[in-house]
Amino acid sequence: MHTNYPILVIDDEPFLRSTLCMVLHKVGYQTEEAQSGSQALDKVAAQPFDLVFLDLQLPDCDGLELLPQIRKIQPRTPVLVLTANGSLEKAIEALRMGAHEYLLKPIEPGQIITQVDDILRERMVSEEELKSEADSCGESSTEAGDFLEPEKEDLPQILTVGNILLDMQSHNVMMQGRLINLPPCTFEYLVILIRHAPQPVQYQLLVGESQGYWLSEVEAQDLAQWRIYRLRKAIEEDHNNPKYIISVPGYGYQFAITDGKVLD
């Protein structure tokens, strides 16, 4: 995928840093490296980046302290947090502070590329939509016919349930006349809930199927809670009184559907 600027990798482990950069180089991405928080801030202040990888354990500062400083300088640049299982709570806190996504170490090369491609594709879609809105002088709706531009006819690209359409390629959701673009991971949560509907989905299963992380029940509940919060904020008219994504206390979440129809 074409990018305008490099990807910044912030990590104090030379081997991980160089390996990550090598994986990105192989598929055509440019990279810059930083081994400390101070070095990272210097680089962020000096030039724009398309994406930032941020390790939460740095020699001169806590990654959670560095995150808001990066976002203040480059507010539209996605930050992807790197963490070990032992610091999962910090990773969830990073999401609350505006990090776009996180990856658990050790990281598979294929997982890295998939995440980067998805995040940058999402950013491109978001920027194109902003430009389109500006060009159309603030028109507030998108025609359903403009929702999908399939690249390959043989791909099972659309998931339809009731009055909701999900574009599996662009992560767009069309519902009640609204076009919503979801982050890749949040989109996966919605897909999993819909595929299991009307049955509720257990916390561990929801996290495992959508993110590939098999966590303890407590960890899965904490992570799912934050993801569901983001999903409700995006698709519910009132996220404090959801009618689509229903909590099943002590178990998980359920997508409100019966007999193939979304509950209204």
Eight-state DSSP code of residue 55: E
pLDDT for res 260: 46
Query: Residue 23 corresponds to which amino acid?
Result: V
State the Cα–Cα distance between residues 62 and 57, nearest whole angstrom: 6
pTM: 0.59
pLDDT in tens, 101-138: 888 888 888 888 888 888 887 766 555 544 444 344 33
pLDDT for res 19: 93
> For residue 180, is pLDDT > 70?
yes
pLDDT in tens, 236-258: 888 888 989 999 988 999 998 74
> For residue 217, is pLDDT > 70?
yes
pLDDT in tens, 44-85: 999 889 999 999 889 999 889 999 999 888 888 899 998 876
Of the listed ranges 18-22, 111-115, 138-142, 191-195, the one predicted with least confidence = 138-142
DSSP characters over 155-210: S--EEEETTEEEETTTTEEEETTEEEEPPHHHHHHHHHHHHHTTS-EEHHHHHHHH
**Comparison of pLDDT for 178 and 193, the residue scoring more:** 193
When pLDDT is averaged across residues 15-23 and rounded to a whole number, the result is 93
The packing angle between helices 217-235 and 203-211, to 10°, is 70
pLDDT for res 219: 78
In order of their start, the domains of the chain are 7-116 (3.40.50.2300), 147-262 (1.10.10.10)
> For residue 210, is pLDDT > 50?
yes
> For residue 89, is pLDDT > 90?
no
